[in-house]
Each structure stands twice: as C-alpha cells, then as structure tokens.
Amino acid sequence: MRLANLGGRATLIAPGGDDRGVDIAEASGGKFGPDVQGLYDEWDAFRAFVADLDSSTMATATFDQVNLCAPVPAPRQVFAIGINYRSHAAEAGMDLPTVPATFTKFPASITGPFADVELPNGTVDWEVELVAVIGRRADRVAAADGWAHIAGLTVGQDLSDRHLQLAAGAQFSLGKSHRGFTPLGPWVVTPDELDDPDDLALGCAIDGETVQDGRTSDLVFGVSQLVAELSAVVPLLPGDIIFTGTPGGVGFARKPPRFLQPGETLETWVEGIGTIHTRFAAPAGDRHAG
Ligand code: ZN
C-alpha cells in the first residue's frame, strides 16, 4: 500500500500507477481521513479497511505529483540518527557509534516532496535518508519486534546547515531545522511492498549528477534496532518518524567541500519507494536586492 497526502487529503495510490489515487475519506464514507496524520493513530483499523477495499471498483482520479504534500505532515516526535552508515562514518573520520547518535529535526521544518527551499547561507549540505514511520506505539520494544511497529517507509532529505550544526559546540537540531529543511515523500510505502526492507538502494543527485549512492544494508543500526534503542528511552508514538541516517557522499566531507547553491535541484530516491525533488533558492533578502 502507498499512502500519499494530496493537497491535505489522505490518498491511496492506485496499484501500478504513480499518478492515480483514491480519496480515502470518500472511499470510506468519512470513516478515515481526509487528515493524513490522524491515520497513523488508527493504523491497524485503517490497514484492515484498505485490505477489504475492492480495487476493481474503486473510483480513482488522476493527479499531478507536484500537488503532493508531506505524507507525515505533523509528527509529534522526529528522531534523526547521525553517523549510522559505515560509509559515512569513514568519510567523516568517525568511529562507529555503540549507541545511536540521536538528534531531532523540529517538525515545523517538514515540507513536501516537490518543495522550493530557501538556502539561508552557503553551507547547506544534502543527506539522503530512509525515513521510518511509526504505526503502533512502541515502548521498550525488543529489536526482533521492531518492524511490527512500523507503518511504512518514506524518502527524506536531512538538509543540514553545517555552519549552524557545528556552532555553539554541536547543536545538530537547530542547524537541521531551517524552514523547509525536512522534505518528505512522495508517499509512505508499507514494508510488505518491498522484497527486503532492510536492503534498499538509496541516493541523491544534484542537477542530474549523482552525489550519494548507497544501500540501507550498510546501516549500523537498522530500522528494527532503532525502534528498540529509542523505545528503551522514550515511547515512540503513532505517526512519529525516524530519519535513519545517511550514507557516504555528503558535501562537507569532499575535498574541497561542496554545498548546495541557489538554482540547483536535488533529486532524492529510495528503491521501491520513490523520488522527491527539492529546488533551492537564495535567501529572500538576496533575491530582493537590486
Ligand atoms: Zn542525517
């Protein structure tokens, strides 16, 4: 199942097509939706409803993908994990962590899969990430049971202002939470749609030039292990998201370093899920100058 947020309305993507969907509020007679975020609070009931839908008689409508919004628009908690790929630890010159290096991206920084994002300065970097969405409250969950608490997976960019991230000691959360720094989408895919949800290719490209190209099998702490490690400390709530970390190929580790520039477009993908597009603009003050 693929669940999207089409202009604020929960939409089921029709099997076999990326531009046809079913409005969930209409299909359920108002039982579910149109709000997307609330579906994660009643995920098991929603899954049962979708399983009973007769796809041959569903009323589908064509839509334009640019009208998609973030499929998890307002999570209560956003977890993000640093140094969680062996390839990224190596390029950053860091030892592999023994506990997940955890920070947050403040939820108001979330934006959709076809967003324009303002660059606040010249030190903004890219990080493709697999993002896991919680579908069942997780409190002290064993790693073996981690996947049972996941509603699905989506594609994220952990855009990072490296200057602010490393200022004042290392305040990761603020430097990763500028307006629009958390693009998500294009939809949430349930794990059963994937041959092996623990081994997915992922990457990103700037104006068509691939800069990251990895596999989630390189994760130090995989999705189920992260559910265990995080829920040992604090309960994970339905609709929360986990940015699971980024593989090698980020800009700051390059010689010389490379950062995103106004006018560039970043394409970010995860195998079996989809691709998001982020276009960058100069700060508003600069654009108005002259
Ligand atoms: Zn990251």
- Gap from CA of 245 to ligand 1 centroid (Å): 5
- Gap from CA of 165 to ligand 1 centroid (Å): 11
Q: Is the peptide bond before 256 cis (omega within 30 degrees of 0)?
A: yes
- Gap from CA of 200 to ligand 1 centroid (Å): 17
* Token representation of residue 53: 């839908």
- Report how far residue 37's alpha carbon sits from residue 159's, in angstroms, rounded to the nearest whole number: 22
- Report how far residue 249's alpha carbon sits from residue 210's, in angstroms, rounded to the nearest whole number: 9
- Gap from CA of 216 to ligand 1 centroid (Å): 13
* DSSP one-letter code for 120: -
Q: Name the region of 251 (left: φ>0; alpha: ψ -120 to 50; beta: rest).
A: alpha
Kindly report the length of the chain. Answer: 290
Predicted confidence band of residue 27 (pLDDT cuts 50, 70, 90)? very high
Q: CB neighbours of 233 closer than 8 A, spacing ≥ 6?
A: none
Q: What is the pLDDT of residue 137?
A: 98
pLDDT mean across residues, the chain: 95
- Gap from CA of 246 to ligand 1 centroid (Å): 5
What kind and span of H or E run contains 162? Answer: helix 162-166
Predicted confidence band of residue 54 (pLDDT cuts 50, 70, 90)? confident
Q: Does residue 290 carry a pLDDT above 60? A: no
Cα-Cα-Cα-Cα torsion 111, 113, 118, 120, nearest 10 degrees, comes to 70
**Least confident among 80-84, 166-170, 267-271:** 166-170
Cross-strand bridge partners of residue 210: 205
* Token representation of residue 88: 């990224």
> Whole-model pTM above 0.75?
yes
- Gap from CA of 250 to ligand 1 centroid (Å): 10
- Gap from CA of 61 to ligand 1 centroid (Å): 35
* DSSP one-letter code for 14: P
> What amino acid occupies position 186?
P
Nearest 5°: the CA angle 240, 244, 250 is: 135
**Least confident among 4-8, 97-101, 168-172:** 168-172
What kind and span of H or E run contains 223? Answer: helix 223-231
Q: What is the pLDDT of residue 125?
A: 98
- Gap from CA of 158 to ligand 1 centroid (Å): 5
Summarize the confidence of residues 214-239 as an average pLDDT: 98
- Report how far residue 37's alpha carbon sits from residue 58's, in angstroms, rounded to the nearest whole number: 23
Q: What is the pLDDT of residue 249?
A: 97
Summarize the confidence of residues 12-27 as an average pLDDT: 92
* DSSP one-letter code for 37: G
- Report how far residue 49's alpha carbon sits from residue 223's, in angstroms, rounded to the nearest whole number: 26
- Gap from CA of 208 to ligand 1 centroid (Å): 21
